[in-house]
Amino acid sequence: MSTYTDIRYDYNLPSGFGGSLNLLATNTITSGVSSSSFTSGIDSTYRTYVFKLINIHPATDNINFTFNFSTDGGSNYNVTKTTTVFNAYHKEDDTEATVAYNPFDDIAQGTGYQSLSSFGQMGIDNDQSLCSEIYLFSPSSTTFVKHFLCKTQWYQREDRSNNVFTAGYCNTTSAIDAIDFKMSSGNIDSGIIKMYGIA
């Protein structure tokens, strides 16, 4: 006889990540901005930091939503990263559906911004947006590289549901102390980004 276990994800208390989420800062975007960053509060207080991106909407069609890290308080966002990306998508009219590794958006020892939306196809329709969670582990360590993982759901411009998984590491033993978010082109039109620490 087989046994089925129902595992549910609690967004207030992530299983396997320790204690409760403590809200540290909120960036609310109500009009076009070129980027949105957190330049304080990422330190040794918490072992894990979580960034929740809620209904991110672009001002320009057919672009990517991206992020990068800093080791100098946000003066430069150019941390060397190696990442991997795969995604699943399904079109509204049921003509396309797949799961695939995405070599176009991963990085091999590069310093550029990492994409959260695959294929650069975010749309500007009023009902199209992106939501994501990013986990950053032990950013203040001066011994190990800094691991991160992201899970993103977004409404693609060609009317597809996209579920993208991005993971990697910052190949530095310097402390990560800032993060920046921006579109690959144009402004962020609207959205909310929250930063949490996990006790």
- Consecutive 10-residue runs of the chain (199 residues): their mean pLDDT? 38 55 97 96 97 96 95 98 95 93 93 87 91 98 98 89 96 98 96 96
Question: What's the CA gap between 115 and 103, in Å, rounded?
Answer: 12
- The 10s digit of each residue's pLDDT in 140-192 is 999 999 999 999 999 888 888 999 999 999 999 999 999 999 999 999 999 99
Integer CA distances (angstroms), 174 to 47, 48, 142, 167, in order = 15, 16, 5, 19
Specify whether the CB–CB gap between 181 and 53 falls below 8 A. yes
pLDDT of 199 reads: 84
The residue behind tokens 């991206």 is 66
Closest among 76, 183, 32, 57 to 131, alpha carbons compared? 57
Please tell me the pTM assigned to this model: 0.89
Integer CA distances (angstroms), 197 to 20, 52, 133, in order = 8, 11, 13
pLDDT of 139 reads: 98
In DSSP terms, which residues pair with 99 in a beta bridge? 88
The residue behind tokens 């549910």 is 8
